[in-house]
Chains A and B, each alone.
Chain A
Amino acid sequence: IAGITQAPTSQILAAGRRMTLRCTQDMRHNAMYWYRQDLGLGLRLIHYSNTAGTTGKGEVPDGYSVSRANTDDFPLTLASAVPSQTSVYFCASSGGDTDTQYFGPGTRLTVL
């Protein structure tokens, strides 16, 4: 692996179903993030983790949960999906001197 990977690439989900989006990084970055991107609204932070074992809420956390059991993995769970959660989801991690965020390829989620 080089960088950040996300799975699945895309998913169509029935409303009410549970779904976990996976994110893995191999850069040994401490901090990781989940964003959603909707047309005209830009990227909005859902949850973040500054280091393994800690998580925090972002701008739009409702309906989502995260865990950070180790440095590499940061899964995002939708407990009971709703159509308003249809979006493109990006995972990111940050590190280096400037703590720049680097993004995974994204997951396109459609909730019907």
Chain B
Amino acid sequence: GQNIDQPTEMTATEGAIVQINCTYQTSGFNGLFWYQQHAGEAPTFLSYNVLDGLEEKGRFSSFLSRSKGYSYLLLKELQMKDSASYLCAVRDGNYKLSFGAGTTVTVRA
């Protein structure tokens, strides 16, 4: 199985930057995913990293270090609509996806 850790909650101000960290231990590694989930809705795909480094997609960026078992999701220019849960998920050597419990981000005006 996998061990995936991420903070439970984070609060930030509109327009600010927030970084959500994720650490993992896995048997085999075939990629790391970040999903966004608004309350009462399905998870939606945000980003995918399989090689070390930074992937940028508009206001969202995701970083991966495979040797450290570490990733972060960076949310810039926060908007109220970014208030949601963010899920870190790791795909193992058997190509199965395991999820962290999620980080609830609250954006304040």
> A residues bordering B, Cβ < 8 Å?
33, 40-45, 48, 58-59, 90, 98-106
Min CB gap B36→A, angstroms: 11
Contact A100/B48 with A43-B87, A43-B99 known, Cβ cut-off 8 Å: yes
Instruction: Tell me if B1 counts as interface (CB < 8 A to partner A).
Output: yes
Instruction: Name A's interface SS.
Output: strand
Number of A-B contacts (CB under 8 A): 43
A59 to chain B, nearest CB (A): 7
Contact (Cβ within 8 A) A105 B96: no
Q: Is the CB of A48 within 8 A of B99?
A: no
Q: How far is the CA of A45 from the CA of B87 in the complex (A)?
A: 15
Report the bound CA distance from A106 to B91 in whole Å.
Answer: 22
- Given A42-B99, A43-B99, A45-B96, A105:B41 Cβ within 8 A: yes
From A45, A59, A90, B42 is in contact (CB under 8 Å) with A90
